[in-house]
Structure 1
Amino acid sequence: MLKMLSSRSHNTGLAVLLYTASSANFRKLYDYLMLTTQQHNLLSTPTGALQVSRKPLWLDDRKGNPSNPKPLYPVLFSLVVPTYNEGSNIHAIVQRLSQLLDAALPNAYELIIVDDDSPDQTWEQAESLIAEYPNLRVMRRQHERGLSTAVIRGWQAAQGEILGVIDGDLQHPPEALMQLLAAMEQGADLAVASRHVDGGGVSSWSASRRFLSRGAQLLGLVLLPQVVSRVSDPMSGYFLVRRGAIAGEVLDPVGYKILIEVLGRGAIAEIAEVGYVFQEREAGESKVTWKQYFDYLQHLLRLRISSGRLGRLGRKLNFPVARFLKFGVVGLSGLAVDMTAFYLLFSVFSFGLTRSAIVAAELAIFNNFIWNDRWTFGDLSQQQPQKRLVIKRFLKFNIICTMGLILNVLLLNLFVNWLNVNPYVGKLMAIAVVTLWNFWINLKLSWRVTQVK
């Protein structure tokens, strides 16, 4: 035991201390060493923009990062497996993938498990497999959630020139990887495992699930025809992509359909498709919910905006158009809350004009904060989930919006009394200016990413 601890700590003095300490202190120090070793085995989670570098992290990091060391062998292929409560499947998926890739790419690949801090401790079970599978790497995300962002964080930590993703529930047959890798070797920028080409299909889907899947694809063809029509199965979560095709692009996915984001924002020239049969789960529970269909619709709309004229103008001006449009939609909901609350308080409960107006305005501000925090700036809020930070954002939002109300009155008087603008036109102009004010100041102050571990 003493020899093992000394080896782990690389410190003879610490080993002697452990040997002479009381049993209680010995246990505390032993637990500390185990935790330190465990943390060393885990990949650090990248932060900041969801942007894949053109070179692996160990090439870009001149200072050196022990969590992302230089590999012993050149890595050609990095396969990310996003997980959440997949403890019952994790050993089987790692074993099957490792057997296939050990034969095809010995010492030239890595498996990256990216776990969203699963309650069943999938990350811990995966970490225990590293000694048996040396090409396995494990990342535990504690401040972000979502399949798409998990995949990108894994790619950010990856060493390979070819990046891939496969589900961790064994519904994607690992054997199809060989065909996907062969397609990439032949020059494809993107190789997609498809259920809708020769050799593809689903094992035992119900009629309703087939209808929803096809309906989602049809919706994508309507909203994003130039993107979705490029592949037969845009809903696939099983594909490989060349690093250079997406490197440098700031990705902004919603939900779990990462392929659409890659197609919409990446420099994808040649695409290959490989048929596969979608399998039923061997263990665990399905995570398909109605929320994921809503996220998919939101993702389509976001890509539609960013690829259209407004998106191009926003990129030219360095202005987040899609986020601003969401802020505007939330503002309209706040207007409805304001008017409804004012009517009830003033006309129904006779609360008084001034008090009714103040309470209604505050309710509208509260409504707007909730929706902006969860939707407009949801990606930033997820990085600051602590209650004190939520309260801090709300207080800032409240102050900024109150200043916006004052600014609205001042601008209205300026437009009408000084510039002789029609009162209704002046009111619209003041609302437009104040909306821009509220959005920009809140973006820079209320939802600024700070104090993130």
Structure 2
Amino acid sequence: MKVSIISPAYNEEENIPFLIEEFIKFKENNNLNDWELIIVDDGSFDKTYEKAIELSKNRDDILVVKLPYNKGKTDAIKEGFKFSKGEIIIIFDADLQFSFEDAYRIAKKIEDENWDLVAGYKVGKYEKRFVSFVYNFLSRIFFNIKVRDMNALKGMKRIVLESIPLRKEWHRYIIPIAHHYKFKITEIPVKLYSRRAGISKYRGKLRILIGFMDLLAVKFLLTFKEKPLLLFGTIGFLFLFIGFLIGLLAVILRFVFEFGYRPLAYLVILFVLSGLLLILMGFIAELIAYYEENKK
């Protein structure tokens, strides 16, 4: 079974020689002729692209793709996927913090046991353990998935990436999204190594906040994309209920305490009409979702 390794690289000039050398050595040691490496330069401003082109000359198993500017890892994966030919896709960072041997184990498990996606979970010591723990814990809670590590080395059948929606920075959520789409998922331990050179591109406290907001966005869209009436209908009926309570209050004030307050009547009209409109929007959204689903 042909395997494509997609390796996003951003300012990894120092690591590219190690990446290509390790890939060639890995293929020779395992006698693999059906593996390809696709290096995607994500708009680097160093010589990542030039170095990759130079070291991959005369090799038809290594392809180098360049994005015009830094679009992010998700777009780099999507761009590499366009050029891939493999039935199995491995997402493999260019910093070599994972090994090709573990990538081989993942591909073998997919092929031999017919899993749709195999996730690696990191073993050993590594930085940002607490952040990783919180992120993976929340992901398991939000998406009801038992995979321990959402963002380590992973491999999947081609159909997985063809089927799931991926927006900017959603590479972190490939596993939960695939789980939502009913793909079969399992996991194996993978060893995390220190970087050969350079520094991590995923640093800073702001990334924690961005990751959490993306987590909420993915959960929101996956929940309500296929059941929009659940969102609009819930809010609509809530508005109707509030309108009913305000109306009841207005009636009590008027007939029990003989105190009329016209703005309450306006609030009743506002909430009731808003509730009805939201419920109607929910039905329309359900029709659109039904149409889109059947169009596929």
Comparing both chains, which one has the higher relative contact order based on Cα–Cα distances under 8 Å and sequence gaps of 6 or more?
A: 2
Equivalent in 191, 200, 213 of residue 286 of structure 1: 200
> Is the CA contact (8 Å cut-off) linking 1:176 and 1:274 kept in structure 2?
no
- Return closer, same or farther for 1:224/1:293 CA change in 2, 3 Å cut-off: same
- What is the RMSD of the two structures over their aligned residues, measured on CA atoms? 3.2
Shift of 1:251: 2.4
- Return closer, same or farther for 1:265/1:253 CA change in 2, 3 Å cut-off: farther
- Alignment-derived partner of residue 266 in structure 2: 423
- Alignment-derived partner of residue 71 in structure 2: 145
CA deviation string 1:25-77 (max 9, x = no partner): xxxxxxxxxxxxxxxxxxxxxxxxxxxxxxxxxxxxxxxxxxxxxxxxxx711
Distance, in Å, in 2 between the alignment partners of 1:423 and 1:143 is 53
Amino acid at match of 1:233: D
Q: Percent identity?
A: 23
- Return closer, same or farther for 1:169/1:217 CA change in 2, 3 Å cut-off: same
Amino acid at match of 2:188: V
Distance, in Å, in 1 between the alignment partners of 2:183 and 2:170 is 22
Distance, in Å, in 1 between the alignment partners of 2:64 and 2:88 is 18
- Alignment-derived partner of residue 133 in structure 2: 214
Matched, 1:182 2:108: yes
Within-5 A mapping of 1:298-313: 298-308=213-223, 310-313=224-227
Amino acid at match of 2:15: N
Within-5 A mapping of 1:189-200: 189-195=116-122, 200=123
- Alignment-derived partner of residue 211 in structure 2: 296
Distance, in Å, in 1 between the alignment partners of 2:46 and 2:9 is 11
Distance, in Å, in 2 between the alignment partners of 1:151 and 1:128 is 22
Distance, in Å, in 1 between the alignment partners of 2:102 and 2:115 is 16
- Alignment-derived partner of residue 263 in structure 1: 178
- Return closer, same or farther for 1:153/1:105 CA change in 2, 3 Å cut-off: farther
Amino acid at match of 2:192: F
Distance, in Å, in 2 between the alignment partners of 1:266 and 1:164 is 19
Shift of 1:163: 0.7
- Alignment-derived partner of residue 136 in structure 1: 62
**Structure 2: which 5+ residue stretches go unaligned?**
232-263, 278-296
Distance, in Å, in 1 between the alignment partners of 2:190 and 2:213 is 28
Distance, in Å, in 2 between the alignment partners of 1:213 and 1:248 is 27
TM-score normalised by length of structure 2? 0.72
> Is the CA contact (8 Å cut-off) linking 1:201 and 1:276 kept in structure 2?
no
Question: Between Structure 1 and Structure 2, how many residues are aligned?
Answer: 246
> Is the CA contact (8 Å cut-off) linking 2:109 and 2:118 kept in structure 1?
yes
**Structure 1: which 5+ residue stretches go unaligned?**
1-74, 322-420, 434-453
Matched, 1:93 2:19: yes
> Is the CA contact (8 Å cut-off) linking 1:146 and 1:256 kept in structure 2?
no
> Is the CA contact (8 Å cut-off) linking 1:88 and 1:283 kept in structure 2?
yes
Matched, 1:79 2:2: no
- Return closer, same or farther for 1:156/1:80 CA change in 2, 3 Å cut-off: same
Distance, in Å, in 2 between the alignment partners of 1:221 and 1:272 is 14
Matched, 1:157 2:83: yes
> Is the CA contact (8 Å cut-off) linking 1:148 and 1:258 kept in structure 2?
no
